[in-house]
Structure 1
């Protein structure tokens, strides 16, 4: 089995330990003078789906130290997108969560077997055309600094949407925190929460309309 690492930059981590990002970025030359080609994971991911399996989530490629589960993996135009869950109550997983939260760890790394490659040409990198993906690890030292976690799912967003639908809106400060987690600047988050949102939850006559608008705004934040 070979490994290939990428930089991991965590903006936030949900209390449940859920995060999203990229385990691989296409077309980027790494420190091994290799690059991963678009489509390299398609066959392997299809095989996992057929067999009802997922690549393992390991700590530092150690097969004796699983720390969570990968819930979703897919190729897109950028690379291999992954969504994972660190398992609460597993000692190493709890330690990793603390390190990720404080940005003490910087890397993701894939473990794979080569299936098809192209040799380096004209000074370019060796190309990985197809790989059999076995695991994706959280590691200390990445080989490539271009892949990173771009969004981290906060379960508070789902709770916020549910409470709006149920007519039990969150306190203003909690909504402000959710906006900050989604990347909204502090001054704008304060203004939105303390003016627009506060007015909406106080207004019984416009409550349903305001809730619909808030839900649409929240959905926009989650999908950007």
Structure 2
């Protein structure tokens, strides 16, 4: 880590919590994907824009609460500098996952989709997360 990198962490997904798309992620849903790729296989993007990654995820783990991420926003690019400045100012604090559903089923009511296994592609820093409780903070 360079002294200009901005360390961040947070929960990108919360288990058994309904998002605005009526998805609920089951505990263990990320295990297979993370075992295959590790954090290096998951990109850090801004607003799901794959044209300009803004940093790297150093650790991604499932804990009792959900999918915990820890990484660094890199100020070596214009977009990285912008995102770091917005995070430091408190203007940007959402996290959102980009994934493919591998195993999913409807819940008992038929209204929610329960994600039992997902292939995690990226975790973005976003203005409005699909899961309102998915937030980042500066790591220290």
Same-fold call, TM > 0.5?
Answer: yes
The structure number with the bigger radius of gyration is 1
Residue equivalent to 2:115: 128
Shift of 1:123: 5.5
CA distance in 1, matches of 2:110, 2:93: 29
Greater strand proportion: 2
Shift of 1:65: 1.0
Shift of 1:124: 5.1
CA distance change for structure 1 residues 116 and 123 in 2, over 3 Å: closer, same or farther?
Answer: closer
* TM-score normalised by the chain length of structure 1: 0.58
What SS class does the counterpart of residue 97 from structure 2 fall into?
A: strand
Structure 2 alignment gaps of length 5 or more: none
Within the candidate set 53, 66, 69, 2:40 is matched to 53
Residue equivalent to 2:92: 105
- Greater RCO, 1 or 2 (C-alpha within 8 Å, sep 6+): 2
Residue equivalent to 2:5: 16
Residue equivalent to 1:153: 139
Within the candidate set 43, 54, 62, 1:75 is matched to 62
Matches within 5 A, 1:134-213: 134-149=121-136, 152-154=138-140
Shift of 1:53: 3.4
Residue equivalent to 2:23: 34
What SS class does the counterpart of residue 53 from structure 1 fall into?
A: helix
> What is the RMSD of the two structures over their aligned residues, measured on CA atoms?
1.8
Shift of 1:118: 1.0
* TM-score normalised by the chain length of structure 2: 0.90
Number of aligned residue pairs: give it.
Answer: 138
Greater helix proportion: 1
